[in-house]
Amino acid sequence: MSGQWQEQVSLKPYNTFGIDVKARYFTQAHNDADVRDALAEAARQQVPVLVIGGGSNLLLTTDVQALVLRMASSGLRILADDGERVIVEAEAGEPWHPFVQWSLAQGLAGLENLSLIPGTVGAAPMQNIGAYGVEIKDVFVSLTALDRQTGELCEFDLEQCQFGYRDSLFKRHLGRWLILRVRFALSRVLQAHLDYGPVRQRLSEQGITAPTAQDVSNAICSIRREKLPDPAELGNAGSFFKNPVVPAALAERIRQQHPGLVAYPQADGQVKLAAGWLIEQAGWKGYREGDAGVHRLQALVLVNYGQASGKQLHQLAQKIQADILERFGVELEMEPNLY
């Protein structure tokens, strides 16, 4: 047994739903050597490995009969700066929102719309996280990952990551690559994205007509705090369902019955629907079964009021999926990874 491995560790502090399940073994990796050591020891003992970051995209439904390897590496650095375009690098274990705030403190724009998203830098490309009209792929340069099959370090550029809506090569081949550090192209000149959601309205209310990147970040943080519960106070994993992309004909059929449908036409002719709107129309907003519920202000967020199990939350999610399929003919896909 590795001296750094702990046994029967509660994972409640390591997942934002606050689900109290146990890991058979648990360790943290602060650098590349820690990662390799943990994987080698797990292979020697024939113990499976579950890699986690901030635990903000994870629904744990049972005790984890594996080594839980938490990425805890730290480090933020500027790699290149031509006076306008700046390449920054962040280690996988860096918490996402503090990284965004660090970039803003350097006078860099590009990440402001992604403020206050939970999780870590290493997990961000897995999901191609996005908010308010901006996704990781819009500022991504490259990343370094460890191939768990060969033990080699691999570099991935934008095209190789195969980013899609809340999707990537790494999510489609879960467990193959372990992301170690990520690089982004930011700018000293703000190109504001203000047309998605109430961001422009919030800035206008504050009397800001020429916003800085920090102004945009502040506005988005205030909007998110009003709409989304703080995981430190109420267990959740943020948006629980993806916004479904459906054929235009289906969207039109729904619109005929529900003129208020929230929908966004896509370049390929399909239509992205607001999952939260569908769930709210179906009457689930504020619904509660024991300690598992749907947030009272945001129907897209499932919450743990204290003692809910992962299985209870999963069962609630499945009920919502079945209801939305029956009502609207739309299949909702869960965002969090299920274990």
Interval 320-329: pLDDT, tens: 999 999 999 9
Pick the closest to residue 261 from 285, 240, 278, 284 (CA basis): 278
Q: At what angle do helices 96-105 and 213-227 cross, to 10 degrees?
A: 150
> What CA–CA distance (Å, rounded) separates 189 from 31?
33
Examine the domain organization and report whether 85 and 215 are in the same domain.
yes
Distance of CA 19 to the CA centre of its chain: 18
**Of 204, 227, 250, at which residue does a domain stop?**
227
Question: For residue 177, is pLDDT > 80?
Answer: yes
How many other C-beta atoms are found inside a 10 Å radius of the C-beta of residue 102?
Answer: 15
Task: Clarify whether 252 is annotated catalytic.
Answer: no
Residue 242 DSSP label: P
- Bridge partners for 22 per DSSP: 10
Q: Is residue 280 situated within a structural domain?
A: yes
**Active-site residue identified among 115, 142, 217, 239:** 239
Confidence class for position 257, pLDDT limits 50, 70, 90: very high
Pick the closest to residue 19 from 284, 314, 295 (CA basis): 314
Least confident window among 68-72, 96-100, 115-119: 115-119
Question: For residue 337, is pLDDT > 70?
Answer: yes
Mean pLDDT (the chain, rounded)? 95
Q: What is the mean pLDDT of residues 29-50?
A: 96
- Are the CB atoms for 187 and 110 separated by under 8 Å? yes
The CA radius of gyration of the chain, in Å to the nearest whole number, is 20
**Of 18, 38, 71, at which residue does a domain stop?**
71
Examine the domain organization and report whether 198 and 83 are in the same domain.
yes
Pick the closest to residue 184 from 132, 127, 125 (CA basis): 125
Residue 16 DSSP label: T
Q: What is the mean pLDDT of residues 92-102?
A: 97
pLDDT of residue 3: 53
Q: What is the mean pLDDT of residues 75-79?
A: 98
Examine the domain organization and report whether 47 and 92 are in the same domain.
no
Q: Is residue 132 situated within a structural domain?
A: yes
Q: Is residue 153 situated within a structural domain?
A: yes
Q: What is the mean pLDDT of residues 52-62?
A: 94
Side-chain-facing half-sphere of 197: CA atoms under 13 Å: 19
* Sign of the four-CA dihedral 136, 138, 144, 145: positive
Examine the domain organization and report whether 221 and 83 are in the same domain.
yes
Examine the domain organization and report whether 188 and 287 are in the same domain.
no
DSSP tally for the chain: helices H, then strands E: 10, 20
Q: Is residue 19 situated within a structural domain?
A: yes
**Of 205, 227, 249, at which residue does a domain stop?**
227
Examine the domain organization and report whether 149 and 248 are in the same domain.
no
- Are the CB atoms for 128 and 166 separated by under 8 Å? yes
Residue 142's CATH number? 3.30.465.10
pLDDT of residue 112: 98
325 φ/ψ angles, rounded to the nearest 5 degrees: -65, -40
Examine the domain organization and report whether 117 and 89 are in the same domain.
yes
Pick the closest to residue 335 from 126, 162, 169, 179 (CA basis): 126
Residue 39's CATH number? 3.30.43.10
Examine the domain organization and report whether 99 and 66 are in the same domain.
no
Domain that residue 164 falls in = 76-227
Q: Is residue 213 situated within a structural domain?
A: yes
Q: Is residue 246 situated within a structural domain?
A: yes
pLDDT of residue 197: 74
**Active-site residue identified among 56, 73, 142, 166:** 166
> What CA–CA distance (Å, rounded) separates 264 from 130?
15
Examine the domain organization and report whether 219 and 83 are in the same domain.
yes
**Active-site residue identified among 91, 94, 112, 335:** 335
Examine the domain organization and report whether 108 and 218 are in the same domain.
yes
Task: Clarify whether 335 is annotated catalytic.
Answer: yes
Read off the pLDDT of residues 106-151 as tens digits, 9 standing for 90 and up. Answer: 999 999 999 999 999 999 999 999 999 999 999 999 999 999 999 9
Q: Is residue 14 situated within a structural domain?
A: yes
Question: For residue 85, is pLDDT > 90?
Answer: yes
Examine the domain organization and report whether 200 and 256 are in the same domain.
no
Where does residue 178 rank: exposed (0-12), middle (13-18), buried (19+ CB within 10 A)? buried
Tell me the whole-structure pTM to 2 decimals. 0.88
Q: Which residues contact 281 (CB under 8 A, 6 or more apart)?
A: 258, 327
Q: What is the DSSP string of 117-178?
A: --SBTTTHHHHT-EETTEEGGGTEEEEEEEETTT--EEEEEHHHHT-BTTB-HHHHTTTTEE
pLDDT of residue 1: 47
Q: Domain tally for the chain? A: 3
Let me know the angle formed at the C-alpha of 77 by 73 and 83, rounded to the nearest 5 degrees.
160
Residue 324's CATH number? 3.90.78.10
Read off the pLDDT of residues 195-249 as tens digits, 9 standing for 90 and up. Answer: 877 899 999 999 999 999 999 999 999 999 988 898 889 999 989 999 999 999 9
> What CA–CA distance (Å, rounded) separates 202 from 308?
35
Q: What is the mean pLDDT of residues 13-29?
A: 97
Examine the domain organization and report whether 263 and 167 are in the same domain.
no
Q: Is residue 1 situated within a structural domain?
A: no
